[in-house]
A and B are shown apart, each in its own frame.
Chain A
Amino acid sequence: MRAKLLTAASLVLISLWLPRPARAEPPPPEPQGELDALETLLDQPVVTTASRAAEQVQTAPSAMFTITAEDIRTYGIRSIDEALDLLGVGMRVDKARDYYTGVDVGVQGLMLRDYGRHLLVLLDGHVMNSQANGEITLHEGLGVPLEAIDHIEVMLGAGSVMYGSNAMTAVVHVVTKSAQRERGAHGVAELSVAPPSAVDGYARRPDGEHGMGYQYRLGVGAAHTFSVGRLPASFSLRAEWQENLSHDYAVAKSTGEDFELRPGETSWGGVASHRMRAPSAVLGLSLGDFTLRAQGSHYSRTIPLIALFDDQSAEELRSSARFDLSHAKQLNHLLHLNSRAYGDYMHQSESSTWINPWWCLPGQIDGCAFTSRHVSRWLGLEQQLRIEPRADGSLSTTLGYDVRLRDGSGRPADYRDLVNGEYPYATHLPYYKSTSVLGSVFLQQLYRPVNWFTLNVGARLDVDSLFGTHLSPRAALVFVPHHTASIRASYAEAFRGPSAAELYATDPTYVIRPDSLGAEVVRTAELEWQQRVSFVSFSLRGYVAFYRDFIAQRSATPDETSRAFERNELASSVDPTWVVINDNIDRIRSYGGTVTLQARPVRGLSVAGSVTVSRDHSEEISDVLWPRSFGNFRLAYEFRPDGPSLSLATSFAHKRNAFNSAANTENNTVIKVRDTFDLRLTLSSPIRGVAGLRVRAGGGVRVFPDAPYLLTGGSGTGERVQYFHDVPQLYLLLGVSYDY
């Protein structure tokens, strides 16, 4: 017994003395913090617009937000301007149209009826703004099929350091889906119906005189990836047809001989409608390191209230064709080279009919047919070299150049006799043609000495044969003290060079050309704090912006007018007091801030909203269109991943001026658009049993419809405020999509 005890004790001692074999331990409890951090990282967009290289949004040198294809589907979005209005941050987009000007877009305190000239729009990095007049629109006329969009990146504030002219208030970068993501065939069909609206803009019951409006969208797409030899290749195509046969909208009748009246008419007003068509397509082909992209669109919209009432022959047209051949190559472990050759054609025109001779040229006593046309063509080459001497990416230098040959031409004001169609014999009709060269070099240095600090400095020098040179610098400091927080301080300058149209386009009835124009300039400073706490993330951004040398029309001096008469720019019948000329006359100061909040309190539920408050002051443009405060709020619930979702999106804006300038009115009356509140409800769901089939249904309402416009009678008399509710107050939407 004793021997047994000794043996057992010895065995215990030996076992204690022997090294323990590696033994599987029970797994530690999974740390919830890591999962939260993972979700945070997966929710942070990776953006490419601000630095022309992929980076997490929290380390970007500018304020950015993105809108995804899923957002577009979930919230019942029908066009890019709607997406920016309902889902954007710090950006106000309003469809309070006056005749044909599209949408008003405001960013960083600047909202002018400027046809998009202070905003740069890119399609997969390709500049879309017209090089003849700088214009771009964000509604259906942009010409990008909605279903082709992978996501939209928006960089707020000055962006000329990377992109040059026009990037004064924002860069809107539309990124299309890759063929890899799009593989297969796709189709979409969507219909919106809208009831007619009464004089006050509110929806009314349809009857024999007031008809419903219909807007439909039909789209097809296909994408395929394959190999050619050992090279990867892909093909993708998206084509879409949109058409709107608008609701009938009632317009209060105005009486008086000064209004544009057809023979026999005694008043201007009644029931009007318009038609819009917007076919568009994008094509992508890739082979190895080469990618060819092409885009084409033709947008037409009747503008039935511009002169004669409900004139269905008055029309706005926008056509474009673009190609872009790009090549990207990692040359070695240090150098990455991007090259891009591009070419664009854009045509814009507007036509209308005028009865009152006051609006026409001498001799056109029966009235005139007015047409304005602008054609822009440009070819360019851009190369960008990125040097990363350190493998950890802590040091990165980007340098590049862009050379662009531009041709802008136009017949900005053609007046033909309404009866015989002849051109005037006594007045010279304007025509301009401008061939110009733009060259630029840019340099950006990124330095990240430690994980929590990034310095990004850069500058771009633009040399433009139209106006001279301009240097656009930017400096940004980004601190990331924790993966849940970042603080950014930045300073940037941006500019917009005068366009050929602003320099050379004239109208013999009231516009003369300037001797020269300089660039508009903005200087901005920003401070932004982004923070995530549990399932809530928020950001707080403040900015101050100084805009100077704004190009605006002012009354021409007697000397300028007399010289214009000598140059035969003005018709003999023109009243010299009505003659205007473009000039760099204005300064605007703006300061404000945006608060953004996003939360995912429970699985499947997302809530987000933003509010922007700002003040601005201009010296010459007596009132800009910028509302003092605006914002949006949305929530969506996804019942299961990739399953049905129900969403509510709203946007609101404080009352704002309807027009840039109170000088538009004889008695300096400031016309306001009252507070707006738009609301949209959407249900999106896959159809059980048919893989790839989805349905989207919903509706939208503008709670306080208000769209004032100043109606001016011939000879400048008879001014009164009119209300054109060509955007319906209500609509219902039903659509299906199929991915094979």
Chain B
Amino acid sequence: MSSRAQDALVPIALQIELVGRLLWYERGLQKSADRQLRALILERPRDPASARAAAQLASQLQGATLGGRQVTLARVSYESVEQVARAAQQQRAYLAWLTPGFGELAGELGRALGTRGVLTISSHGADTARGVVLGFELESGKPRIMLNLKQARAQKLDFSAQLLRVVKVVP
């Protein structure tokens, strides 16, 4: 299933800024002594919207700090769920950012990466209902952070109660 270019998305720069701030409230990351944060950008081949988002993410995440951690980045072109999971393991990724275009596959990726403890983030809020941990959507023209708390807890991600006040928890 391809992505729809008409879907209103939260601008990528704003998504990055929101993640950068909310990761201060993921206690697992904050307890970690590692000052680096390894991130994967998952790109759907032959999907221009995905390529565009991946390029924007790569450009704006490179050298950025998220939750006080310096980001090191790898771009992964999707071939299979297993290949992505392997890449996440090899890179020791803390988070994987799904670009638009994965549709139903987002759920499979969320679950597969979840078993390896990877925080999955999608530009589509609806993907959180499929098993992605964090997503974004525009509700009445305002950005909303969607959090699949059940999936987050299953992955031992420890978001603080303060953060839960400002995100929308997906049932």
**B-contacting residues of A (Cβ < 8 Å)?**
22-28, 30-31, 34-35, 37-39, 41-48, 54-56, 66, 68-70, 150-151, 153, 175, 178, 180-181, 227, 230-232, 286, 288-289, 291, 326, 328-334, 336, 388, 390-393, 483, 603
Contact = CB atoms under 8 A, between A and B. Distances in A.
Contact of B6 (A31, A328, A603): A328
A231 B1 contact: yes
**Shortest beta-carbon contacts, A-B, top 5:** A68-B140, A391-B59, A391-B55, A328-B5, A330-B48
A448 to B, nearest CB: 9
A330 B5 contact: yes
30 contacts: A22-B34, A25-B31, A27-B31, A30-B25, A34-B21, A38-B22, A38-B163, A39-B166, A41-B21, A42-B142, A42-B166, A45-B141, A45-B142, A47-B141, A56-B11, A66-B140, A150-B140, A150-B141, A153-B141, A178-B8, A180-B7, A230-B2, A231-B2, A232-B1, A232-B4, A332-B48, A332-B51, A332-B52, A333-B55, A391-B55
B27 interface: yes
Interface stretch (B12-20, B77-85, B111-119, B148-156): B12-20
Contacts of B48: 329-333
Given A38-B22, A153-B141, A175-B141, A26 B163 contact: no
A391 B141 contact: no
Interface residues of B, number: 49
A232 B103 contact: yes
A405 B55 CA distance: 40
Contact of A34 (B24, B55, B143): B24
A265 B149 CA distance: 74
B167 to A, nearest CB: 9
Contacts of A48: 8
Given A151-B140, A227-B1, A392-B60, A35 B30 contact: no
Contacts of B5: 289, 328-330, 336
Given A35-B166, A44-B143, A232-B2, 17 more contacts: A22-B33, A26-B31, A30-B30, A34-B25, A38-B163, A42-B145, A44-B142, A54-B10, A181-B139, A230-B2, A289-B6, A326-B6, A328-B5, A330-B49, A391-B55, A391-B56, A391-B60
Contacts of A153: 141
Given A24-B31, A38-B166, A336-B5, A70 B58 contact: no
Interface string B57-100: 01110000000000000000000000000000000000000000
Contacts of B13: 392-393
Contact of B25 (A35, A68, A288): A35
Contacts of A28: 30
A25 B29 CA distance: 10
Contacts of B145: 42
Chain A CB within 10 Å, residue with most, of B56, B144, B160: B56
A25 B142 contact: no
A232 B105 CA distance: 13
A25 B103 CA distance: 38
A393 B57 CA distance: 10
B34 to A, nearest CB: 7
Contact of A38 (B2, B12, B18): B18
A45 B14 CA distance: 11
Contact of A230 (B1, B139, B142): B1
B88 to A, nearest CB: 20
Given A23-B33, A30-B160, A392 B143 contact: no
